[in-house]
Chains A and B, each alone.
Chain A
């Protein structure tokens, strides 16, 4: 999952980005509204964590313009102001959820997961794919009841394909969702991960659609 964090407080940005990366997300960072808007419209994120108080363009304006550009990326906004009016305004401008600072990181993670789930039209945190079960809450994959150890990237790829089961996910989409802007994208890294997953979960778990991408249960 690729996430954009927008926060002008450098220490906070650092800590939350680190936390999300440790959680297995690919994280992009932005410290002001202009940068946020640029990145949000250039790349596709699974979720955006947006601070309301930003220099230059403020959070509301970023959100507003994002929605006007028909970007439906789920947005969770952070507010340090205790005003109900702010929260209402944020939600009405097009945000999907909010958190008031200071917040628990675990709560942030849970809400992000819910946002992503909802965006992909899946309500349940557990996705069953035949003998394989993906628990998006625990971020684990079980095969025939047994826990399968996966790297963060591998899990990310499985989760992505599982959430889009029945659809073809292009390589570009995989890149966009699994690697942040700072990653060095070598085109065969995806194949390497796919191969590793096939080894762990079965050859037919992921199907290749030549020239298009990958899919599960297509």
Chain B
């Protein structure tokens, strides 16, 4: 089964064309045929009726005088014996004879019945003999009363049989090469009139061939035109395919030009172009990410490498060695943390975070995190506090990852809050979701950076976070982890006043596991 749109279009179009043209030709042919036949039939029926009418008007002996009987000469206008009694002059005799002759002729005419074809069927000048109409009238005993042409009567061996129950209407006889009509006449006679239709058939045949020929030509031209037009419609599609096909991993810049396309295709072209742009953006994000990751990893590696090389150049004091090793430790720690973060993100992207889904009591999580950072907060002179709910807030999730998120948010808050400031962690329930908030009174996030803080490797204050070992992945990881838990993470920040991060997570209804996105469902809940 051919799946080509062009071929299908053409096939349907051809079918329609064939049906229409053939239908039209057939219609024409049969109409012609019927009209011709009808005309002949009418003439023949007319002839038969005419004969019938004539025959009905005269008594049988007049029509059909018995063999040998001469027509009785009508008597003279003079009574019998008058010829002799009256002494007629020669002139009078002549007049009377003339008168008698006239009367005789008239009577002959009146009493003689002759049957002939009506003018419409009569043979005309130039007609061929085999096309002439004919008729036969049989007497009731089966003998031929009259036939024209003469020979035609003998062509019929026996009188055709007319079914006794047949109506008075002329009956058409089945005959392939002529039209024949039969009627019961008066005095038990049978009337037949017919006409050969050889010539008509030949003419119709010729018409048929002409129609077939023209029809085929019309079909051929129509198909060719259709093929050509279809090509014009299919070409834009081919162009679109070409443009799309030219895109490759290294070159995603091609776009389909919608200016010359038909309306229906413009929509398609626009959707495709948008898709290509999204792909291009995704690819460039990917490339950028790889470049950034590479850069971030090389830096601690360079520190490590150079420090070791320098230290080994010549003998050093114990203190120098110790300091050098400290530097190495810090650098390798940085690399470890970076690789860890990158791995987590890569897994989150691929949907294979391998989260263990357990019921997690957020109250406890918050208490533990706050306890963990209490000392740091004290060192920095920041007040760390928490507000929890009375009832336990339980969500379905991985406790380790959720702790990490909370720790990250707390660390960020502490880092950006100067001495004397406050950091508050609060847990609440809001319309069937658990809400965890970390609010600080720190420096806030600059307006121009606010749209980018969840980006990978994005740091607001590059120098500072570098010194404290931040790689710029913390919030990106938080976002990925929270979203893998079917949660949301958002923030509100006012530069100079502080920032609040809010995480919402779906609550666990007793016994029910929340409907998590495909990405995290892939994680085995084993």
Partner-B contacts on A (CB < 8 A): 8-12, 15-16, 18-19, 22, 31-32, 53, 55, 80-83, 100-106
Contacts and interface: CB of A to CB of B under 8 A. Distances in A.
Contacts of B330: 11
Contacts of A105: 306, 309-310, 313
12 contacts: A9-B303, A10-B466, A16-B306, A55-B462, A55-B463, A81-B291, A82-B291, A100-B298, A101-B298, A103-B302, A103-B305, A103-B306
Contacts of A16: 306
A31 B302 CA distance: 16
Of A12, A32, A81, A103, most buried by chain B (CB within 10 Å of CB) is: A12
A8 B463 contact: yes
B309 A80 contact: no
Contact of B327 (A15, A80, A82, A103): A15
Contacts, number: 69
A200 to B, nearest CB: 23
Nearest to B294: A82
A9 B466 CA distance: 7
A160 B307 CA distance: 29
Given A8-B463, A11-B330, A15-B327, A80 B302 contact: yes
Interface of B: 291, 294-295, 298-299, 301-307, 309-310, 313-314, 327, 330-331, 462-463, 466-467
A15 B462 contact: no
A10 B313 CA distance: 21
Of B298, B299, B306, most buried by chain A (CB within 10 Å of CB) is: B306
Contacts of A101: 298-299, 301-302
Given A8-B463, A55-B462, A102 B291 contact: no
Given A15-B327, A55-B463, A81-B291, A9 B307 contact: no
Contacts of A19: 306, 309-310, 313
A19 B306 CA distance: 9
A81 to B, nearest CB: 5
A81 B298 CA distance: 8
A106 B309 contact: yes
A11 B298 contact: no
Of B294, B301, B309, most buried by chain A (CB within 10 Å of CB) is: B309
Contact of A102 (B304, B462, B463, B466): B304
B467 A10 contact: yes
B286 to A, nearest CB: 14
Contacts of B298: 80, 100-102
Given A15-B310, A102-B305, 11 more contacts: A11-B330, A11-B331, A22-B310, A22-B314, A53-B295, A81-B294, A81-B295, A83-B291, A101-B301, A101-B302, A105-B313
B313 A22 contact: yes
Given A8-B462, A55-B463, A83-B291, A102 B302 contact: yes
A193 B128 CA distance: 146
Contacts of B299: 9, 12, 80, 101
A177 B338 CA distance: 40
B303 A104 contact: no
Nearest to A54: B462
A19 B309 CA distance: 9
B306 to A, nearest CB: 5
A18 B303 CA distance: 12
Nearest to B290: A82
B464 to A, nearest CB: 10
A100 B297 CA distance: 13
A8 B463 CA distance: 7
Given A16-B306, A55-B463, A102 B301 contact: yes
